Amino acid sequence: MIGGGPAGSTAAALLAARGHDVVLLEKAQHPRFHIGESLLPLNTAIFDRLGITAEVAALGVHKPGAEFISDATGQQVRYAFADGLDKIFTSSWQVPRATFDALLFRTAADRGARVSESTRVTDVVFGGERSQVNAIGPDGTECRYAPRYVLDASGRDTLLAARFGTRQANKRNNTAALFAHFRGVARRSGELEGFISIHLAEDGWFWLIPLPDDVMSVGFVGNPAAFKGRKGTPEELFNARVAASPSVSARMTGAERVGHVTGTGNFSYAASRCWGEGWAMIGDSFAFVDPVFSSGVLLAMTAGEMGAEVAETWLANPVAARVRARRMERDLRHAMARISWLIYRINTPALRTLFLAPSNKLRMRDGLVSLLAGNLRGSKETLLPVLAFKTVYRLMALALRLGLPVGAPPLRSLPQRAE
């Protein structure tokens, strides 16, 4: 197992618990900084299967939903997960990723995986019944392993995709991000306490994620126009984007930054395939999508579960494993496509209008809430509501392109359920 993030640790914990000999190699030392602190309700099902739900809850801030705020109009709307079609999992948590990832890594060790930190994989040689994994350990010693199956969960390093030349940038969503942690950012209270805030700004959007100890994760994700022709350090660029957003700057008056501003580009990508003979890519090593709807950890842990099933099947029956691997890739691409449909359009006037003026005709809003809660693989209950939402979007986008007047449902900061 290459990589001890959410995908690798999940797969390692499940396989080790079933009695398999699992080696989990992580290049860093836990706890280590990572962004992506906002979890989704459907993550809870995986936490339950790992037996760590109570520990996850103790790490973070309770998350009942998400709010969207428009800089252009001043509109604000909340989406409570309890309003979705799925009534089993109706809330989640915002967690410090350093401690969350360390918990998952420790869980893999507790289940019996042989874990090694500060161990960097340098090469993988495939062939025969066993492959060869070369690594450098924490003391600089070269290590060699001979696994029967390799799961690449190396994250954005995309070890195997880089080696095979199969990583492809998503040109439909060519964004970059700047982010940091702060103290003293104005937090929501009352019915909005614990909500993630998505501030829709010009040429992009901000996340504001409340964490324990008065820490707030603040990040800006922008399209090329947001950064074109701009110069300066990441801190200067970030500060300029905050200053340009009236809704974000109002909440950050007097805020104190904790740590450095970090930047990353080419945010979204995918490998052309996620498996082969004796190996599979899971989590961010296979694909990564824009984090606007907080799907990253759920997709990674879901891939970890699927990858564990493929690996276990391969050890017993490679022919059956190939069938399962094809299904895994199809299901993961389908899940990413469901959330990416919204991601590609988050900066369009039509989608922003619909998000800020939600209608529940044909239970469109409830279906949208279920999607935001992590129903990425689809269900019969969400089929018609999501289809209706997409149809309304297309009609509104067409009307805007033709310059026709567009009427939107009345804005409600607290949407009421349809009778």
DSSP for 250-298 reads: HHTTT-EEEEEEEEE----EEES-SEETTEEE-GGGTEE--GGG--HHH
Q: Which of 9, 2, 1 is nearest to 300 (CA)?
A: 9
- CATH 3.50.50.60 at 6-60+95-170+269-341, yes or no: yes
Burial state string for 70-105 with b = 16 or more CB within 10 A and e = fewer than 16 = bbeeebbbbbbbebbbbeebbbbbbbbbebbbbbbb
Helix or strand holding residue 24 (H, E): strand 23-25
pLDDT of residue 290: 83
Per-residue pLDDT of the chain (419 residues; tens, 9 = 90+): 999 999 999 999 999 999 999 999 999 999 998 889 999 999 999 999 999 999 999 999 999 999 999 999 999 999 999 999 989 999 999 999 999 999 999 999 999 999 999 999 999 999 888 999 999 999 999 999 999 999 999 999 999 999 999 999 887 777 889 999 999 999 999 999 999 999 999 999 999 999 999 999 999 999 888 888 888 899 999 999 999 999 999 999 999 999 999 988 767 899 999 999 999 999 999 999 888 899 999 999 999 999 999 999 999 999 999 999 999 999 999 999 999 999 889 989 999 999 999 899 999 999 999 999 999 877 888 899 999 999 999 999 999 999 887 754 433 333 333 32
Q: Which amino acid does the sequence have at 240?
A: A
Cβ atoms of residues 245 and 199 within 8 Å: yes
Task: List every span in the chain annotated with CATH 3.30.9.100.
Answer: 175-264
Task: List every span in the chain annotated with CATH 3.50.50.60.
Answer: 6-60+95-170+269-341
Q: Which of 192, 33, 151 is nearest to 99 (CA)?
A: 33
Backbone angles phi, psi at 200, to 5 degrees: -85, 110
Quickly tell me which residue has 């918990």 as its tokens.
103
Backbone angles phi, psi at 375, to 5 degrees: -80, 70
Q: What is the dihedral of CA 37, 286, 281, 370, to 10 degrees?
A: 50
The C-alpha angle with vertex 180 and arms to 178 and 182, in degrees rounded to 5, equals 145
Q: Which amino acid does the sequence have at 40?
A: L
Architecture of domain 175-264: 2-Layer Sandwich (3.30)
CA–CA dist 373, 351 (Å, integer): 18
With 0.85 as the threshold, say if the pTM is over it: yes
Q: Which of 287, 288, 276 is nearest to 325 (CA)?
A: 276
Cβ atoms of residues 99 and 31 within 8 Å: yes
